[in-house]
Structure 1
């Protein structure tokens, strides 16, 4: 069974094992990805190899609304055999060994190395360039060893995780918005209610934008990346121009300024106001009504100021925006062509 959406990148299409691959509703695989035998991809899962390779071993299991991605100009993602990834998790530009269990809501960030025989507990964040030695259970943010684990317990936890994420209700239906030619909305994204998308913006694969009460307004050249969920149940969500909402972010009713970056897996609570020129580190959360002043890197749970937003971080944020403007046009052309 093929994914709902398969797209090439730079003329390269994904490679699937001749042995069966099971793919759920609205699952997406893009570019230079190779999947081993007996893979299982959950509903709304995304594997995006658009600039570097993604190599996934045999019996890889990717839970619902989870994302595997790369760092476009620097790092691919390599995963060994018999790896189980839970729901709403992100495996990003890293190396993962064999016989690894990555539970729900885990974030594994760029350059991290997860050795064989590891369990990463639900909600943990593996920081960039961290190494997790074999044979332990890890938890927390940043992820730290909790205790040793043996092979029988690891296999049992993998089985429990697969059973828990094996079935989900049917996804909500969405509207098909009218957008101008410079805007990209992925076919697997779902948009409902009053939504305004600025010129050059992009809504990537398996995102959910639900303007249940107030509107959702997205500024020009802003990108909302795979599996992010934006829900308005009050005053609405407003995002400024030239801003990045990374993979698997959850936004409630809030305001986010221009030229900001909301990192992978962040949770932004209702009433949060994020000023212009803010970087919110991956895995961070905000408290309801929290104000994040501009010009700073914020991180933690709840978010606090970590450092000034220096020139290198500002340059990185601009580069991401420019890259996703280009990605959006390439993806739209491929999607419209039915490739």
Structure 2
């Protein structure tokens, strides 16, 4: 069974059709929209501040979503994919974004809509990732502009796929 744990009188809240893997942890002041998924060994830890996920957010295997005590909450929009082993900490991620595998997004970053943070990138504190762009490297820098249609199509495809994958595990639906 998933680790769904209250902290300081705040319990995670889930929209409809959310999948939480049996060994994932969702803690404290966390609000998830509809059709979200938190995969194996992933952690969404809203113990020191709040975390809000929109609709169709997938937090893939081993990823960590956290926030900063009394300073930086974490807010994630709709149709967002957080890749395997990524770290998202005390930042804002707008709609239609892909955070690649192993990427790190640090405090006070703003990841604008229709953008990609490449696998392994480290987005330093306070960075604003431009809409319609790909950021890569250490530290992450803009490497490419891409069309909003192209980027939106790929991001939408991944979000829809993860909604489909989570339906395969309906017996673990967090809304039960």
Q: Same fold (TM over 0.5)?
A: yes
Give the match for residue 317 of structure 1.
none
**Structure 2 residue matching 1:47: 3-state secondary structure:** strand
Cα–Cα, structure 1 residues 57 and 163, in superposed 2: closer, same or farther, change >3 Å? Answer: closer
Superposition CA RMSD, Å: 2.0
Runs (4+) off by over 3 Å? 157-164
Q: Deviations over 1:57-78 (max 9, x none)?
A: 0000111000100012311100
Q: In the aligned structure 1, how far is the partner of 2:159 from the partner of 2:100?
A: 7
User: Which residue among 57, 73, 77 is the counterpart of 1:76?
Assistant: 73
The answer (yes or no) to whether the contact 1:84–1:158 under 8 Å persists in 2 is no
Give the match for residue 52 of structure 2.
55
Q: In the aligned structure 1, how far is the partner of 2:134 from the partner of 2:93?
A: 14
TM-score (norm 1): 0.46
1:152 to partner: Cα distance: 3.6
Q: Deviations over 1:157-208 (max 9, x none)?
A: 56358869x69xxxxxxxxxxxxxxxxxxxxxxxxxxxxxxxxxxxxxxxxx
TM-score (norm 2): 0.86
Cα–Cα, structure 1 residues 56 and 157, in superposed 2: closer, same or farther, change >3 Å? Answer: closer
Q: In the aligned structure 2, how far is the partner of 1:81 from the partner of 1:163?
A: 14
Q: Residues 1-339 of structure 1 correspond to what in structure 2 (within 5 A)?
A: 4-17=2-15, 19-154=16-151, 155-156=153-154, 159=157
The answer (yes or no) to whether the contact 1:102–1:120 under 8 Å persists in 2 is yes
| Structure 2 residues without counterparts, runs of 5 or longer | 167-176
Q: In the aligned structure 2, how far is the partner of 1:127 from the partner of 1:50?
A: 23
Q: Deviations over 1:202-239 (max 9, x none)?
A: xxxxxxxxxxxxxxxxxxxxxxxxxxxxxxxxxxxxxx
Query: Rg: which structure is higher?
Result: 1
